[in-house]
Structure 1
């Protein structure tokens, strides 16, 4: 079994994927209380540190085979500074500090797709070129979660650093066009949410709390506990009813268009969109419960009007589209759990990376 450390761990999407491939988490660090509580509920409080990574002493950092995580970027402006002592690079300093102390054979950085155009990425390359990462060879590029069997199109930057020989990024196992030799067809939303009840039974979480890190937080919730409905207005319901699978705001008749959309005839094409059963969803963001923020309407809709599910996806459905297991536990309020789900690395993508690394470890 290979040991691992998860930095900026969130609710544990990356750990979930790696743990499913037999990796053993030795340390996880997360600054957000409710995300850290969710992580601890699923993987254990004993190795979970809730707090600022900068306050973690070197003596608390164990050796590990792998370090994973995605340090937040301080914007994506072309700052030009590659100075590790620039205070804007503090979280990167901390990531590199942990890598230096843990001395992993491999580290993995996950970040947004535009990360490779950022100053932080240039900083990383500079550290590999004679700096603190000089013993590591880097591979990097974009991976789409849908290309690895996740029922969601989510493009992320992945960096693999290795001191045991260069490790290229894993190759796709799935594709939109199945005729591509040797690849499977993209997985549609039906595979993840097709069996979840169409009707929601509540708009609020159950009354339940749990103590973690000496503090009381809402939780733990699982499965249908977070299958939460909303109370849309009659106008919203009428809008939803006009939108077919793959459609969006351009399917609305003029009298149902808000003024801001009527005056913007192009762009924001996925707003008020409806998913398709046969294709992966678009990226699940932190406000997936608001159809005006993207393609978040439930995929069930028939042209005859006999069977339409006119609501956005629920927290449970969003978690399943992020590939979290059905029995995954959650802590926090509705908003906090939605943030955890939207910010997570899809479990299936993390699993594919872990599976790939095992060959080299």
Structure 2
């Protein structure tokens, strides 16, 4: 048995950010004992939203810091069951330059080195789907080889967030390694078919309009929850946080108002179309579909009904962060934390299958 004194399996989160992936494990009943990142405000958000956890600021480019992680983990608990992490994906991303020698592509080695020292029974590494195919699959092969060298049986799969109850079009690749196991990891089956996907309105339709106003730092719910998803998000919160509106210029408001629901700048009158080049510029969400992928820039997507960008809380809802998850830092820092995160409900789907594996390997009742 490797349950710690809380009776729960233990988790460490590398490159944790605000902690979307580990919040999924936390919500599934795991004990998230430690998160490591280099962003002060993201670490503050992490530390306030994962129970009795510890946030550690370390530069994971510097592999000498691996020893600090090892010592801190051993001080907290006798055994780490799961190591999760989302190494920064800029080097692999489709959004920027793709260069095989981008040093950010090797940050996953911090996970390899931590796993080699702590020997968690399961590792979960998430990243962009492009990691599987770029450089003719060399990146994916190297990740497999490096973890298999230290005893992990590796599996990988791209999961589509709406299939797991997340109201957002987002794909993530999950590498899962099982220490000393002959069996491949069994990835979670979808819980939602296309006709069951959670829409934008299902997710955020109960939140205040905030059109032309900022609103208060802490707000009241103005209406009852209208959908099961809204009830789930509001379950442990009596107030609304991180929900300040944005007041745009008259020109921006005019442009947004001309875009029909679910369309973008290409639907503008011809005299305005040439003002925009970016493919997703001036995109208005559809009320009846999941949102587009939440990004960190937060300036190109707009509310399906109101003539403004989504608030941090609305973006967090679309990422499946519950309302009791409070983000710290400036508004811009909060948007970045939300956009960089793994949707917690997607993390929870992985966590549920990890727990089944841990129980099976312990001969516990699943």
Aligned position for 2:157: 141
Aligned position for 2:332: 335
Q: Does structure 1 residue 322 correspond to structure 2 residue 332?
A: no
Q: Does structure 1 residue 48 correspond to structure 2 residue 58?
A: no
Shift of 1:117: 2.6
Number of corresponding residues: 314
Q: Does structure 1 residue 156 correspond to structure 2 residue 179?
A: no
SS of residue in 2 equivalent to 1:235: helix
Give the TM-score, by structure 1 length: 0.80
Q: Within 2, Cα distance between the matches of 1:45 and 1:360?
A: 25
- 8 Å CA contact 2:36, 2:58 repeated in 1: yes
Unaligned runs of 5+ in 2: 1-7, 93-97, 219-237, 359-366
Shift of 1:279: 1.0
The match for 1:191 among 195, 199, 202 is 202
Q: Structure 1 residues 78 and 241, CA, compared in 2 at 3 Å: closer, same or farther? A: closer
Q: Structure 1 residues 90 and 143, CA, compared in 2 at 3 Å: closer, same or farther? A: closer
Shift of 1:233: 1.9
Q: Which moved more, 1:44-53 or 1:275-284?
A: 44-53
Could you say what the CA RMSD is over the residues aligned between the two structures, in angstroms? 2.6
Q: Structure 1 residues 201 and 67, CA, compared in 2 at 3 Å: closer, same or farther? A: farther
Q: Structure 1 residues 73 and 321, CA, compared in 2 at 3 Å: closer, same or farther? A: closer
- 8 Å CA contact 1:17, 1:350 repeated in 2: yes
Q: Within 1, Cα distance between the matches of 2:270 and 2:320?
A: 37
SS of residue in 1 equivalent to 2:357: coil
Aligned position for 1:60: 72
Shift of 1:206: 4.9
Q: Within 1, Cα distance between the matches of 2:14 and 2:168?
A: 24
Aligned position for 1:312: 309
Q: Within 2, Cα distance between the matches of 1:356 and 1:159?
A: 13
SS of residue in 1 equivalent to 2:110: helix
- 8 Å CA contact 1:137, 1:166 repeated in 2: yes
Q: Does structure 1 residue 11 correspond to structure 2 residue 21?
A: no
Q: Within 2, Cα distance between the matches of 1:123 and 1:297?
A: 39
The equivalences for 1:207-218 within 5 A come to none
Unaligned runs of 5+ in 1: 179-184, 208-221, 301-308
The match for 1:95 among 111, 125, 133 is 111
Cα shift readout 1:140-181 (whole Å, capped 9, x = no counterpart)? 1211111101000101111111123321322222222x3xxx
SS of residue in 2 equivalent to 1:25: strand
Aligned position for 1:255: 271
Aligned position for 1:286: 296
Aligned position for 2:33: 26
SS of residue in 1 equivalent to 2:56: strand
Q: Within 2, Cα distance between the matches of 1:236 and 1:352?
A: 39
Q: Structure 1 residues 90 and 273, CA, compared in 2 at 3 Å: closer, same or farther? A: closer
Higher helix share: 2
The match for 1:276 among 264, 270, 286 is 286
Aligned position for 2:250: 234
Q: Within 2, Cα distance between the matches of 1:231 and 1:331?
A: 21
Shift of 1:61: 3.0
Give the TM-score, by structure 2 length: 0.79
Q: Within 1, Cα distance between the matches of 2:286 and 2:112?
A: 42
Q: Within 2, Cα distance between the matches of 1:339 and 1:139?
A: 29
Q: Within 1, Cα distance between the matches of 2:354 and 2:203?
A: 26
Q: Structure 1 residues 223 and 39, CA, compared in 2 at 3 Å: closer, same or farther? A: farther
- 8 Å CA contact 1:32, 1:51 repeated in 2: no
